Structure 1
Amino acid sequence: MEAEAGGVAVHYAEHGSGFPVVALHGAGVDHREMLGALEPVFRERPGYRRVYPDLPGMGRTPVPDWFRGSDDVLELLLGLIDVVVGEEEFAIAGHSFGGYLARGVAARRPAQVAGLAMICPIGEEARDVPAHAVLHASADVTGVLSPAEQDQYRDYFVIQTPDTLRRFREHVAPALPLVDADGLGRMSERWRLSDVPPDAPPYAGPTLILAGRQDSTAGYAGPWELVERYPRATYAVLDRAGHALPHEQPALFTALVTEWLDRVDERGHGGRLTD
């Protein structure tokens, strides 16, 4: 599906009906990674309309020549939300760079965002980021992945099993050749979002922050510092999980996202309203 926002044709996938949940992927992939991570959560949970956009320069959404930073991406997302969601309340979840953007959406639309989930979110200042270390390797990639894909897989996953290899092939690898490297390079010129006004109140909705203990991209110390900004935040750091946490710990990921949705529903929002 496509929707025009800010003069850009934004491609997105949509599943289900009901309360909207907007899911934002990270850099270098497309909507299929978040779709693969979240759809198992909703398999036994009807009543949600899941919207998975391709961010600019990834998937089938182009990056305009004038894009120079994350503020431009955030404005595009807010325009897309106006078109696809309208004035209805919604929950938002994001992985990596998508988690950073989700924070920006919640800061700009606190009254409309009913819940915020950040998975391995990057931040302005990454610290104490561990070196990449593979904890388990039993997947045979010979003849299955191209040399470039093998490098991506080995650099991304700390748990390399037949199951994570399958997830990589289904939800990550198809997006790699679609990345507009030049466009992403332009957007990285000003990747920090503009500061939220210092007198802005903290986002008070149900929040989930998930970090991988072995995440060599975002680490877990930076995400922990976000807890003080979100008074309704659950924070969990998962062992045997790097930046590919949703693929490496799918059962825990599903359980924690399900609990987050329960908290969103407690406020009277979502697909399963409380009595």
Structure 2
Amino acid sequence: MLVHHRTADVHGVRVAYRESGPADGPVLLLLHGFPTSSHQFARLMDALGDTRHRLIAPDLPGFGRTETPDGFTYTFDRLADVVEGFTDALGLDRHALYVFDYGAPVGLRLAARRPGQVTALIVQNGNAYEEGLSDAAREFAGHRREVPGDEEKVRALFSPEGIRFQYEAGVAEPALLSPDGRTLDVHYVGLPGRAEAQADLAFDYSSNFPQYPAWQAWLRASGVPVLVVWGAGDPFFVPAGAKAYLRDAPDAEVHIVEGAGHFALETHLGEIAPLIERFLAKLP
């Protein structure tokens, strides 16, 4: 399947995105996490080559090839604003949603704002429940810019060593991890202004917690089909967070992938892609 690399202007933000599949097919919008970009979905898009769906994966502001104007404010609300504008720019009034890590609070904000827009949900290590937070995640969210030493701790997470840790932690066979993904992440995070953007988002991460009840309410009210796929060794989002989706989406399909870490697609694509294919095939 051909993958096109395009851009869209959204209120002064030049959003870079990958797109594959039939132009008239039902849409699956894929939102990546920290510290990566839409590149994390490149292999998945290839693996889903026979799907009837139109796959669209944007780079969020502060990531990948997306360009922001001077003075852009990096918060999760603003990222959701841009994704909302992106769906308008592309005419995506109805779409399924794949969320991972940072992509979860962005995409679930969109779902709560526009309850009828999201038709199905795929969650891969994307948290929306208190019980899904590890001690490490709670510590990360507890950092404050005004506290001496906290900014250095936050910035260590997107240093080359910190990025490598995020890829390797909890992975049963680290040799299965290609170094290409993390190397590209290091490159993009090193671009001018990106470290500051990442620090701003890190310090804003705790703003997601008060939103959890609204996202859970949307799940209950919408009744959309839900697939949850979770790397069991994730050091930030623990498997209890995957199982918690059953509370508000009792018919959800939940898979805990043993041997996988936070970036489960990197090591277990062969196990996860068929789950996604079958899920998509059952959608209208």
User: Do the structures match in fold with TM over 0.5?
Assistant: yes
Distance change >3 Å, CA 254–CA 13, structure 1 → 2: same
Write the distance in 2 (CA, Å) between the matches of 1:48 and 1:71: 28
Aligned partners of 2:216 and 2:248 also within 8 Å = no
Q: Deviations over 1:134-192 (max 9, x none)?
A: xxxxxxxxxxxxxx757643542214454422xx41x4422321121211212333333
Matched, 1:113 2:118: yes
1:256 CA drift (Å): 1.4
- What is the 5 A alignment of 1:130-141? none
1:33 CA drift (Å): 0.5
Aligned partners of 2:232 and 2:256 also within 8 Å = yes
Write the distance in 2 (CA, Å) between the matches of 1:30 and 1:80: 16
Aligned partners of 1:215 and 1:241 also within 8 Å = yes
Stretch of structure 1 that moved more, 180-189 or 72-81: 180-189
Aligned partners of 1:97 and 1:121 also within 8 Å = yes
1:257 CA drift (Å): 0.9
Alignment gaps of 5+ in structure 1: 132-147, 269-275
- Equivalent residue in structure 2 for 1:230, among 220, 224, 249: 249
Matched, 1:153 2:164: yes
Matched, 1:80 2:90: no
1:59 CA drift (Å): 0.6
State the AA in 2 paired with 1:246.
Answer: L
Matched, 1:209 2:228: yes
Q: 2:253 is paired with a residue of what secondary structure? A: strand
Q: 2:130 is paired with a residue of what secondary structure? A: coil
Distance change >3 Å, CA 29–CA 199, structure 1 → 2: closer
Aligned length, in residue pairs: 243
Aligned to 2:202: 188
Aligned to 2:186: 176
Q: 1:115 is paired with a residue of what secondary structure? A: strand
Aligned partners of 1:63 and 1:183 also within 8 Å = no
Q: Deviations over 1:177-236 (max 9, x none)?
A: 112121121233333346329975533111111112211121111232122122441111
1:63 CA drift (Å): 4.5
Write the distance in 1 (CA, Å) between the matches of 2:215 and 2:102: 21
Write the distance in 2 (CA, Å) between the matches of 1:106 and 1:121: 14
Q: Deviations over 1:62-108 (max 9, x none)?
A: 35534242111111101101111343x21110221113322222222
Stretch of structure 1 that moved more, 24-33 or 65-74: 65-74
- Equivalent residue in structure 1 for 2:26, among 3, 7, 19: 19
Aligned partners of 1:130 and 1:214 also within 8 Å = no
Matched, 1:35 2:42: yes
Aligned partners of 2:133 and 2:237 also within 8 Å = no
Alignment gaps of 5+ in structure 2: 1-5, 137-158
Aligned partners of 2:112 and 2:215 also within 8 Å = no
Write the distance in 1 (CA, Å) between the matches of 2:17 and 2:32: 11
Higher helix share: 2
Aligned partners of 2:229 and 2:255 also within 8 Å = yes
Matched, 1:8 2:13: yes
Write the distance in 1 (CA, Å) between the matches of 2:129 and 2:73: 19
- Equivalent residue in structure 2 for 1:54, among 40, 43, 59: 59
Distance change >3 Å, CA 86–CA 255, structure 1 → 2: closer
Q: 2:272 is paired with a residue of what secondary structure? A: helix
Write the distance in 1 (CA, Å) between the matches of 2:133 and 2:104: 19
Distance change >3 Å, CA 36–CA 100, structure 1 → 2: farther
Q: 1:190 is paired with a residue of what secondary structure? A: helix
TM-score when scaled to structure 2? 0.76
